[in-house]
C-alpha cells in the first residue's frame, strides 16, 4: 500500500521485518517442541533460541539476496537462519515442516493482530458517532428519498442508524478475527506424516492461535471472510460518507467537514471547502470491495495445494487491512470535527412550504370519511398548487372546501413536533451497544 494511506501502527504488522520475525519465532518454537518430544536435544533447541538472528533490514536484505539463488522465499529464509544459528543446531530449523506451515501460520498471526487494531479503531469511531448522535438527538433535518424532500427526521436519528450498522460490522470483524486466528503445522498435504501433531499444538498455544485441520494450505474461505469484513466496514463508511457529501453540497449546506488553519480547499479557488475526507473514504471503499473479489476467487485451489492464491494475497490482505484501518481513522476525524448547521437544516425544512406534511393530511382525510384515492388526489393537487403558487400547503388546503379539517386539526398535522415524536426510538437500540 502506498504510504499516503498507511498509518504506522498497522504498517508495522505487515512490514517485511515483522513477517520474518514471526516466521523465525514459529521455526524456533517448533524446534523447542521437538526438543520436548525428545527428537531434538535440549542443547540444540537452546542454541537455536540463543542464536536467533535479529530480524532487521539487513536480515531481510540477506534473505532477498539468497532468494535470487533459491527462487523460493521461505527456502532462502531457512538457509539464512540456519547459517546465522550455526551447525549442528541450525540443522533442526524447519524440521518436518513445509513452507506453507510457516507462511500461513505467520500470515494468520499478522491478520489477527491487524484485526485487533481495526476493532480498537472501530470502538473509537463508534463511540464518536454515538456521541454526535446524542448531541443532535432532537435536531430536526429534512429526510430525503430519491434525493427529494420526504418527511422530517432528526440528524441524531440519522447518525444513530449508521452507528447500528457499524456495530454490525464490528461483530462481523470479530467473527472474522476468530476464523483467521488459526495455526497449521501439519506438513505436506496436512497429514502430519513427518511431524508430530503435538508440535502444532505447542506452537499454537504459545502464539495464541487455534490449530485447525488443513491440507497443505489453510482453507481460503477464512481469508475471504476477513476480506468481507473489511469490505463491509468500508461500504458502511462509504454510505455515511456519501450522506455527508450530499449534506455538504452548497445548495444543502447542512454540514461541513472541519477545516484546520492553513488548509486549502482548492489550488485555484480560495473560497472552496470540499468534502475531501468523505470523498477519499468513498474511493478507498471501492478498493476494499475489489480486493474481496480476488479473495473469493482464491478459495478454489487445486487438490491439496497450489500457489494461485499467494501472489494475490501478498497484495490484498495487507492492503485491505491497512486501508480498513485508515478509512476508520479518517472517518473518526471527520465525525469528531464535523460542523453541523442546525439553522440551515431548519431552513431547508421550512423551504418545502409544508409539502412534507402531505402524508398526515392524507391520513386525516381518510379518517374523515374520504376514500384513499379521493383524499390522495386532493392532497396531490393542493401540493402542486402550493409549489406553483409558492404558497404554504396548509393555506391551500384550508381554502379547499372539500377539506373538512378544522384549523386546529391542520395545525396538528403540520406540527414538526408531532412528526418527530417517535424519531428518537432508535436510541433504545443504540444504548444496547456494548464496548
Residue whose C-alpha cell is 401540493 = 383
Residues in the chain: 435
In angstroms, the CA 393 to CA 74 distance is 75
Pairing of strands 255-256, 339-340: antiparallel
Query: Cβ contacts of residue 41 below 8 Å, gap of 6+?
Result: 35
The phi and psi torsions of 217 (rounded to 5 degrees) equal -125, 155
Q: CA quadruple 262, 268, 274, 279: dihedral positive or negative?
A: negative
In angstroms, the CA 399 to CA 413 distance is 16
Asked whether 203 and 104 are in contact (CB, 8 A), the reply is no
Of 214, 229, 233, 237, nearest in space to 295 by CA: 229
Catalytic residue among 3, 146, 303, 407: 146
Of 260, 245, 321, nearest in space to 18 by CA: 321
In angstroms, the CA 381 to CA 111 distance is 60
Q: List Cα–Cα distances, 25 to 68, 206, 356, 421, 425, in angstroms.
A: 24, 10, 65, 60, 52
Q: Name the 3-class secondary structure at 148.
A: strand
The phi and psi torsions of 144 (rounded to 5 degrees) equal -125, 135
Asked whether 212 and 182 are in contact (CB, 8 A), the reply is yes
Reply yes or no on whether 89 is catalytic.
no
Of 175, 184, 172, nearest in space to 210 by CA: 184
Reply yes or no on whether 309 is catalytic.
no
Asked whether 215 and 184 are in contact (CB, 8 A), the reply is no
Which alpha helices (DSSP H) does 390-424 contain, by range? 393-398, 407-413, 416-419
Catalytic residue among 193, 266, 351, 368: 266
Per-residue DSSP letter, 302:
S
Q: Name the 3-class secondary structure at 390.
A: coil
Catalytic residues: 146, 266
Amino acid at each position: 500500500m502506498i504510504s499516503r494511506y498507511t498509518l504506522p501502527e498497522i504498517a508495522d504488522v505487515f512490514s517485511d521485518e515483522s513477517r520474518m520475525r514471526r516466521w523465525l519465532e514459529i521455526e524456533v518454537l517448533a524446534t523447542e517442541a521437538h526438543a520436548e518430544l525428545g527428537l531434538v536435544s535440549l542443547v540444540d533447541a537452546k542454541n537455536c533460541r540463543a542464536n536467533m538472528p535479529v530480524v532487521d533490514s539487513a536480515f531481510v536484505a540477506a534473505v532477498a539476496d539468497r532468494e535470487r539463488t533459491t527462487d523460493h522465499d521461505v527456502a532462502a529464509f531457512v538457509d539464512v537462519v540456519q547459517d546465522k544459528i550455526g551447525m549442528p543446531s541450525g540443522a533442526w530449523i524447519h524440521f518436518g515442516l513445509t513452507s506453507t506451515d510457516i507462511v500461513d501460520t505467520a500470515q494468520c498471526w499478522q491478520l489477527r493482530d491487524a484485526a485487533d487494531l481495526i476493532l480498537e479503531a472501530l470502538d473509537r469511531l463508534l463511540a464518536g458517532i454515538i456521541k454526535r448522535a446524542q448531541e443532535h438527538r432532537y435536531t430536526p433535518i429534512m429526510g430525503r428519498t430519491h434525493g427529494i424532500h420526504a418527511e422530517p427526521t432528526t440528524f441524531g436519528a440519522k447518525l444513530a442508524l449508521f452507528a447500528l450498522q457499524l456495530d454490525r460490522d464490528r461483530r462481523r470483524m470479530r467473527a472474522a478475527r476468530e476464523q483467521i486466528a488459526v495455526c497449521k503445522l501439519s506438513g505436506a498435504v496436512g497429514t502430519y506424516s513427518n511431524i508430530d501433531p503435538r508440535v502444532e499444538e505447542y506452537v499454537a498455544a504459545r502464539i495464541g492461535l487455534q490449530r485447525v485441520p488443513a491440507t497443505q494450505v489453510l482453507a481460503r474461505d477464512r481469508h475471504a471472510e476477513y476480506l468481507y469484513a473489511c469490505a463491509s466496514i468500508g461500504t458502511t463508511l462509504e454510505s455515511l460518507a456519501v450522506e455527508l457529501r450530499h449534506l455538504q453540497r452548497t445548495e444543502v449546506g447542512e454540514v461541513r467537514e472541519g477545516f484546520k488553519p492553513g488548509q486549502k480547499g482548492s489550488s485555484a479557488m480560495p473560497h472552496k471547502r470540499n468534502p475531501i475526507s468523505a470523498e477519499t473514504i468513498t474511493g478507498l471503499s471501492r478498493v476494499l470491495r475489489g480486493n474481496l473479489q480476488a479473495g473469493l476467487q482464491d478459495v478454489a485451489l487445486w487438490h491439496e495445494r497450489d500457489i494461485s492464491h499467494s501472489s494475490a494475497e501478498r497484495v490484498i490482505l495487507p492492503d485491505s487491512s491497512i486501508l480498513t484501518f485508515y478509512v476508520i481513522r479518517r472517518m473518526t476525524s471527520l465525525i469528531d470535527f464535523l460542523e453541523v448547521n442546525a439553522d440551515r437544516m431548519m431552513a431547508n425544512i421550512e423551504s418545502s412550504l409544508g409539502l412534507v406534511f402531505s402524508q398526515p393530511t392524507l391520513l386525516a382525510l381518510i379518517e374523515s370519511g374520504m376514500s384513499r384515492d379521493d383524499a390522495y388526489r386532493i392532497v396531490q393537487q393542493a401540493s402542486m398548487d402550493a409549489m406553483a403558487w409558492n404558497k404554504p400547503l396548509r393555506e391551500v388546503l384550508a381554502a379547499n372546501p372539500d377539506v373538512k379539517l378544522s384549523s386546529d386539526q391542520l395545525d396538528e398535522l403540520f406540527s414538526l413536533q408531532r412528526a418527530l415524536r417517535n424519531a428518537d426510538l432508535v436510541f433504545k437500540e443504540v444504548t444496547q451497544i456494548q464496548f
